[in-house]
Chains A and B, each alone.
Chain A
Amino acid sequence: QQQVKQSPQSLIVQKGGISIINCAYENTAFDYFPWYQQFPGKGPALLIAIRPDVSEKKEGRFTISFNKSAKQFSLHIMDSQPGDSATYFCAASLSQGNLIFGKGTKLSVKP
């Protein structure tokens, strides 16, 4: 019930393409769904986040789509760039702030 399942494990996209990463959860008590971006040698950093009362949130080239009934959410990266190459983690949080992370997706954007 506490798991967040993330797919795919790795993703290769051409420059200018769309990168899509999917996550699913079981616990309906989760009330905050962030995405973190991690570059090699660095700690994860918050990229974008959504609350379950919203179906979509867009920040620049990054969009979260949220489907509450299906208990799924996804990250879309439009016009993917080589600088987007990183590991992406979805997460879900309970009200006290404890984050449960997916296993991560390693994204490579080819020039």
Chain B
Amino acid sequence: DVKVTQSSRYLVKRTGEKVFLECVQDMDHENMFWYRQDPGLGLRLIYFSYDVKMKEKGDIPEGYSVSREKKERFSLILESASTNQTSMYLCASSRRQGRGEAFFGQGTRLTVV
């Protein structure tokens, strides 16, 4: 069974902390994505990566960075967490070509206090 695994389901962090959200996929997909989901705003793309060590900004990259050192792993970093980054974070992966299906992880509910 194909899988995208996010390291935590729930996280509570303090304002100003550096936060790491980890995502691993076992499908050998080239593309990996980080989305943020908020009520009424849908899924908004933060960053995506087409290959190892490669990254592209999405619609809302401010306050975030990413790292992709290995093909199967894509990390989202909140450099200095703020309360407005309290949200559901979703990781996804897909094949590079063929505009195929994106597979999503279960999500990480992050609360910044």
Contact = CB atoms under 8 A, between A and B. Distances in A.
Interface of A: 2, 6, 9, 31-32, 34, 41-46, 49, 51, 89, 93, 95-104
B101 A43 contact: no
Interface of B: 4, 31, 33, 35, 40-45, 48, 50, 58-59, 90, 92, 94-97, 99-102, 104-107
B48 A98 contact: yes
Nearest to A42: B106
Contacts, number: 63
A101 B42 contact: yes
B94 A97 contact: yes
A89 B45 CA distance: 14
A44 to B, nearest CB: 5
Contacts of B59: 2
A102 B42 contact: yes
Contacts of B100: 97
A89 B44 CA distance: 12
A103 B50 contact: no
A99 B48 CA distance: 10
